[in-house]
Amino acid sequence: MSRRSNVSVYVTETNPSEAEEDDETQEKQPTEKPNAQTKPEKRKRVTEKQVQAKKKKTSEQKECVTPQKETDEEKSTKPKKKRKKKKTITDVLSSSEPKPGCPADLQNLVTQYFSDKRSVIEQEELKLLDSCFLSSNDLTHTLSSYLKQVCPKWAKIQKQHTEKSSVVLLIVCSSALRAIELIKQMTTFKGAAKAIKLFAKHIKIEEQVKLLQKGVTHIGVGTPARINALIEKEGLSLRALRYLVLDWNWRDQKLRRMADIPEIKLDFMKLLETGILHGCKEDKVKIGLF
């Protein structure tokens, strides 16, 4: 009996510890399992949030981009406005038909130039009468035929002229090359008359002064700038001048006339002020537009 009791006691002593261990393991197992399950759940939630945030960003970007595409498409469909180019003198003149110059053209040029430089009373004094002008070229004449028309008594005038440093006929043009061309064109008109080149290209002003003082010169052909310089240096006098012919209708490579080039127009206006307008008022000088 005693052995059985001891055995039973031993069993009863060992069973509770094992039971407690089993209980602890049972308690630990449920606690460990949820921990293992919760961690991936958190990761899944984070990834879902990130995905949702990315989707929102892409949707917002698409919304931002789509109006740009619409505007680009609208821009492509709309006709582009072309900038208007400023018309140059050559563009205007190339589209217009050439018209012969007339005294009114010169008068308008003079009034426009002096409008902000002279008073109203002085501007009235600058107005030229029709009697101050010769007949204008109708674009059918050569220089020789035109001069024969406006100076029918040239042979007599040529003989009567004996004053040095002065000319009877002064032809004003825009360039040295044009002056040489005009001198060649009037060979049939000038006869025995002496002509001089009055431009700055390859000719010193001192040489021109000596030539004018050396003998009698009937015709001068040149540019306004050099003619003004000779007048200022008293190398050229306007006392014997009777005819002033302007190379008005000729156009250069850019289709510009003498009056269309600003620097030449400025020099020409200065030339008119030196005494030509005064000579026209006194009926001593006649102006012709060739």
CA quadruple 137, 139, 144, 148: dihedral, nearest 10: -40
Residue 250: helix, strand or coil by DSSP? Answer: coil
Polymer length of the chain: 290
Q: What is the CA radius of gyration of the chain?
A: 52
Q: What is the pLDDT of residues 204-250, one digit of tens each?
A: 999 999 999 998 999 999 999 999 999 999 999 999 999 999 999 99
| β-sheet bridge partners, residue 245 | 171, 288
Locus of tokens 């970007």:
61
Average of pLDDT values for 265-283? 91
- Is residue 250 within 8 A of residue 174, CB to CB? The reply is yes
Domains and CATH numbers, the chain: 98-289 (3.40.50.300)
Tell me the per-residue pLDDT of 135-180, one tens digit each, with 9 for 90 and over. Answer: 999 889 999 999 999 999 999 999 999 999 999 999 999 999 999 9
